[in-house]
Amino acid sequence: QMDLCIEAFGTSKQKQALSSRRMNAVGSDDVTTAVAKAAANIIDAKGVTALIQDVAQDDIQNISIFLPPCNEDADKPENVYKFEDILSSAEYEALRVPAAVFVNITPEEVAKKTDDKSHCSFVLEELKFLPADEKSRDHKARCLWFLDTLIKFSYLKVIKKKHPMGPECPHIISRKLMKNFTSLTYNNGSVQNLISASMKAKITAYVIALALHINNFQTDLTVLQNDMKLQESRMMDIAKAMRLKVSKAKGLLGLENDQNHKLGTLSLPLPVQKASGNQRKRKKMN
């Protein structure tokens, strides 16, 4: 009613202010509508459950949500986290071409890559011990290439390119990375792919699972932790959530000799999963 009075009897200044306020209200409605539409699209594409999980991304109790499928009734360690749940047959086949650089690598080239730090420490060390058998060598090379790509992908924050890992990365692998290891977020009027803390934890879990397959189900967690640029407590939380037995070992791979490394072993029977004891207790308010 006040607006109608201003419209009919107000001064020019009052009418101008009313017009400006109405224009701003329309603009605000448009933004709200756009945000709501984008949010609806994200919910449709990602699912309410996944979005809720991302909200709780730093809660250690939710780490298990992001682990590879775990077969608790497995009769062998290799069946706990099955290889085909890490890489499908089509994805594995697509790795044949890019992994050829590892298959044919020479000791001199490994030394040069080590100096250049062109790959993560885990991969550079494993390249020194490629099997002589052609089939086994090709298999390990494909696994190492994908593991290296996963770790490098985890360094990104907001994904702005359609093929963030470059043209040498097969399309099916790029699609896998974007679909399985990023979260959708709305920012500055557009939907973006983001590597959230929960997605970093998920990448870490898949890296550990793949490293276990490469290393006969025992792997140096400290090397992977350094490659992933994680705090030790975070790495240990993920390893324990994956039901690994964690033990100490002296430093490897040219790191400080006195640095205690943590080894993760996947063996049967699996340890009983315990509730995390790292939750911070709230102080009582008087």
pLDDT of the residue at 280? 45
Mean pLDDT across 235-239 = 95
pLDDT of the residue at 93? 97
**Regarding predicted confidence, which is higher, 43 or 107?**
107
Q: What is the DSSP string of 158-210?
A: EE-SSSTT-TTS-HHHHHHHHHHS-EEEEETTEEEEE--HHHHHHHHHHHHHH
pLDDT of the residue at 34? 63
b/e per residue 156-175 (b: at least 16 CB within 10 A): beebeeebbbeeebbeebbe
What would the pLDDT profile of 177-219 be if each residue is shown by its tens digit? 999 999 888 777 777 888 999 999 999 999 999 999 999 999 9
Comparing CA positions, the residue from 212, 159, 210, 211 lying closest to residue 181 is 159
pLDDT of the residue at 237? 94
Question: Considering the chain, what is the average pLDDT of its residues?
Answer: 82
pLDDT of the residue at 164? 86
pLDDT of the residue at 33? 58
Q: pLDDT above 70 covers what percent of the chain? A: 73
pLDDT of the residue at 62? 59
Residue 10 scores a pLDDT above 90: no
What would the pLDDT profile of 38-81 be if each residue is shown by its tens digit? 655 655 565 555 554 454 444 445 567 789 999 999 999 999 99
Residue 278 scores a pLDDT above 50: no
- Rounded distance between C-alpha atoms, residue 251 and residue 200, angstroms: 25
At 37, is the pLDDT very low, low, confident or very high (cuts 50, 70, 90)? low
pLDDT of the residue at 47? 56
